[in-house]
Every structure is written in structure tokens, then in C-alpha cells.
Amino acid sequence: MDYGFVWQQYELIRGLTLSGMQEISEAQADIVPEGFSNNLRWNLGHILLSQDALLYGPTGIKVPSSYGALFSPGTKPADWQGEVPSLETLSQQLQEQTARIKNDFADRLQEKLPTPFSLRGKAQIDTFGEMLLFTLYHEGMHSGIMSQLKKAVNRQA
């Protein structure tokens, strides 16, 4: 089966995520508006880390190991210590991740995951292809949050 459409959607969604960050300054990326627990930088890093973790597994993550403490579920900018990656770095890593995942999983979309992934008992993900599609859903959710964050940040400016 030809999965070209999957990769086209992946590139489209990633492109939309990245284009949504154009014209955002480093300072704006760090604002946590009232009513939010995270900022724009956290959401970008979380998308990056989550996609690696879900597709490569905890021992195969390709992003810097420090990203776990910064961008894992349950983390927040208020708890960050040390340096955080710049928007330019995160954008570059997201672009590189797209190419890497396309290369690494081009012929593996129907392959079974080492262990099925349960969505809190609501559904189960069995293949790398299903997991890739789930990560796109996840990225879309965070892109929506990022749109809300941008509006809130602009209102505060």
C-alpha cells in the first residue's frame, strides 16, 4: 500500500505547527498567561519529545536527554532549571525530526509496536502507523493550545 498521503499529512501538520511560531519572540515564547500552566516554548518542546518517545520508545529517544525534565507531561516552565533551548533550536529539531521519522519509519507503518499502547483504556494502538497518526492528533491538540496562548500573550502585550 502507498502511504505517501500519510507523509504528506505529517509534513503539512508539522509545517502548520512551525508556521504558527513565526514572528514569536523568545520573550513571548516564555510568557505563561493567566489561566495557562505552560508557555509556547513548552508546547513546542513537548511535541518534539512526545513524538520521539511514542515512536522510538523511552530508550530510543533522539532528542537531548535534558528535554525529559523540561517537556514531559506534568512539567512546567515554573520548575525549569538551567538553560532551555531557543525557539530556533526547537524549530530546527522539529524539522530534523520530520525527516528522521520519515526515513526511519517509511517501511514500518504496518509493523507492530513492541508493546501495544493503551490510551487510558479507551483505545489501543498496535502499529507504528497508528502511533504516528496518534502523534499527529496530539500535535494538533497542542497547536490549538498554542493558538490560544498566542492570543493571550498578544492581549498582555
pLDDT digits (tens, 9 = 90+) for 27-50: 999 999 999 999 999 999 999 999
Convert the pLDDT of each residue in 54-89 to its tens digit.
999 988 999 999 999 999 999 999 999 989 999 999
Convert the pLDDT of each residue in 85-111 to its tens digit.
999 999 999 999 999 999 999 999 999
Cα dihedral value 42, 46, 139, 50, nearest 10: 180
What's 125's domain CATH number?
A: 1.20.120
Q: Is 13 inside any structural domain?
A: yes
Q: Is 118 inside any structural domain?
A: yes
Grid coordinates representing 46 are 513537548
Q: How many domains does the chain have?
A: 1
Pairing of strands 112-118, 124-127: antiparallel
Q: Is 78 inside any structural domain?
A: yes
Q: Is 94 inside any structural domain?
A: yes
Candidates 129, 139, 140, 29; CA nearest to 89 is 29
Range of the domain at 119: 4-21+36-156
Q: Is 29 inside any structural domain?
A: no
What predicted TM-score, i.e. pTM, was given to this entire model?
Answer: 0.95
